[in-house]
Amino acid sequence: MNTSTAGTTRRSFLGCLSSLGLGSLGTAASRTSATTTSHDIDSRSGDSPFTNSDELEAFVDEVMAKRIGTTTPGATVAIVSGDRPVLTKGYGAADVDADDPVRADKTMFRVGSVGKLVTYTAVMQGVERGVLDLNVDVNTYLDDSEVTVPDTYDDPVTLRHLGTHTAGFESALDPDIVADPADLDSLETVLTEQQRSRIRPPGEHVGYSNYGAALAGHIVAEAHETTFDEYVLSKIFEPLGMTHSTFAQPVSDDQPGDLAAPHVSDGESFTVTNDVYINMRPAGSLSATATDMAAFMSAHLGGGSIDDRRILDTATAELMHSRHHVRHPAVTNWRYGFHEYGNPDANLIAHSGGTVNFTSHLLLAPDHDVGIFVAYNSNPSELPAAVVEEIVEEYGHQPAPTPPIPTSEPGGRERAETVAGEYSLSYLPQSGPLQVVDLLEHMTVEPADNGDLRTTTLEGDARKWIETEPYVYEEIGGHDVLAFEVTDGAVNVLNMSSEPTGVYQPVPFHERQLVSGGVLGTAIFGFGLSLVGWGGHSAWRQLKQHRTSDKPDMEDSE
């Protein structure tokens, strides 16, 4: 990937973050929490990239002032350098009706799929203790459970597959969301009744799966003969002092802290709305404060510990942060639970999250001992990753992409003709009302001049690409990469760097948008109906939030 080699700035620790970039934002007055706070900088290494905590706080205040009241009513932010938070701060309102401010150490936000990182940390604890094995058939741990994974293929599903979303489960984005907590079932019941079919061999391709994450949490509980909630409380939250974190739904009255209210916007103002509840709890029901998430990030950056509070051995933490599934060397790949973010050479690992009315983003830069967490009590089109981006730009250099260097290999025009066609994401629904999510994301690939490519989607995302090596194309004016896997002149899959949660698969001619207008029209109508339900809204957000490049309209997911 071609980026400029501009000189190091005074904050060069994040120079490698050159591939991040999101859209520009409007401005609004900020109402910050009175309880909060920059911290003295005293990191593990003694060489913090944030040399002035007051300056950092002033900058983040400015960044958040552009969002509070327009993008979201409230937000919470945590930035850590090594084993110390350098900023934990609340912004705006936790509840616009009660006029309660967000407090970084008291106000819990529902962080959605960022909670999967806690689940997969629990898996790695089991691996470290010899209770679990990443490479063993998951049914080994389900002897005393009603849950079982069918033996559809010769190779079994393992915990490694669950942590990299490569189990091959049937797509279903909705993590079984309900409006009434009385409709919540036990995790075992949910996994049994919502059993996902296996539609491809394990380890073959990434296909983001809430079911797989929930199954991993259930296996943790079964292996330790306890409940998932009790396990993470005693083995992760309590050791790290995360007293304001819980997977429980609804949050109990005796839980320390207060849960921020969910909000919706009519385009002019925010109103409090009803919360929803996630049956597949290990996949997305975590509520936590910024202060607690700071502790979690510091533990991961510190080789599994903060001071003498350890949740993983150093070797185990390093194993978790190493690559466990490679889609293609030129694109973002999967660590255990984390996906790579931006430039795959930059060693950035991240996860986004969202429920119907909350959104979050967590980013770690292990090479620089830095972590950033941002959460909103709303689900806007522009998500918390944009805040992370502005911090990155300020505290590192952000070189503009240089023009890709075309490959010297002959046959570029023929290769462009080979890959031309229509593609759909592997983890999107292929039938039912939510089929529109798949159809809207169908990407058309067309040959351009001299073996280059053009891509378009029904959403209006149009881009141009230059071939830099056979079947690998870099975005013109951006940082994204397309990498096609071709066998005997036919495309097997298309990997896109900004889509770590799945691969694109060729769409058969009879299913393409150009010849299926009736199907598309029906699906769009169904989508309008599905948005009334939690599943449709969640599915659309889930698709968007994990994307990692500088596409202007790519910012939403569960």
The 10s digit of each residue's pLDDT in 367-425 is 889 999 999 999 998 899 999 988 877 876 334 456 788 888 999 999 999 999 999 88
> How many other C-beta atoms are found inside a 10 Å radius of the C-beta of residue 383?
29
Q: What is residue 325's predicted lDDT score, i.e. its pLDDT?
A: 98
Q: What is residue 10's predicted lDDT score, i.e. its pLDDT?
A: 31
Q: What angle do CA 340, 346, 348 make, to 5 degrees?
A: 40
CA neighbor of 551 nearest in space, from 503, 473, 497 = 497
Per the omega criterion (within 30 degrees of 0), is the bond before 250 cis?
Answer: yes
Q: Letter for the amino acid at 82?
A: G
Residue 381 CA: distances (Å) to CA of 238, 264, 266, 408, 550: 35, 12, 13, 41, 14
Picking from 141-155, 169-183, 403-417, which range would have the lowest pLDDT averaged per residue? 169-183
| Residue found by looking up tokens 């990030």 in the block | 297
Q: In terms of pLDDT, which residue wins out, 25 or 114?
A: 114
Q: What is residue 349's predicted lDDT score, i.e. its pLDDT?
A: 94
Q: What is residue 171's predicted lDDT score, i.e. its pLDDT?
A: 77
CA distance 8 to 157: 45
Enumerate the β-bridge partners of residue 34. none
User: Over the range 336-362, which residues count as b (16 or more CB within 10 Å of their CB) and which as e?
Assistant: bbbbbbbbbebbbbbbbbbbbbbbbbb
Helix, strand, coil % in the chain, rounded to nearest 5: 30, 25, 45
Q: In terms of pLDDT, which residue wins out, 433 or 352?
A: 352
Under the banding of pLDDT at 50, 70 and 90, the label for residue 511 is low
Enumerate the β-bridge partners of residue 74. 92
Residue 145 DSSP symbol:
S
CA distance 315 to 183: 41
Q: What is residue 186's predicted lDDT score, i.e. its pLDDT?
A: 96
Among 49-58, 317-326, 390-399, which range has the highest average pLDDT? 317-326
Q: What is residue 170's predicted lDDT score, i.e. its pLDDT?
A: 87
Q: What is residue 451's predicted lDDT score, i.e. its pLDDT?
A: 87
Residues 102, 34: contact at Cβ < 8 Å? no
Domain 412-545 bears CATH identifier 3.30.70? no
pTM attached to this predicted model: 0.87
DSSP line for 155-219: SPPBHHHHHHT-S-BPP-----EESSGGG---HHHHHHHTPPPB-S-TTSS-B--HHHHHHHHHH
Residue 382 DSSP symbol:
S
Query: Can you read off the two tokens belonging to residue 146?
Result: 């009603």
Write out pLDDT tens, residues 228-276: 999 999 999 999 999 999 999 999 999 999 999 999 999 899 999 999 9
CA neighbor of 453 nearest in space, from 486, 485, 484 = 484
Taking each helix axis from N to C terminus, what angle separates 314-321 and 116-128, rounded to the nearest 10 degrees?
130
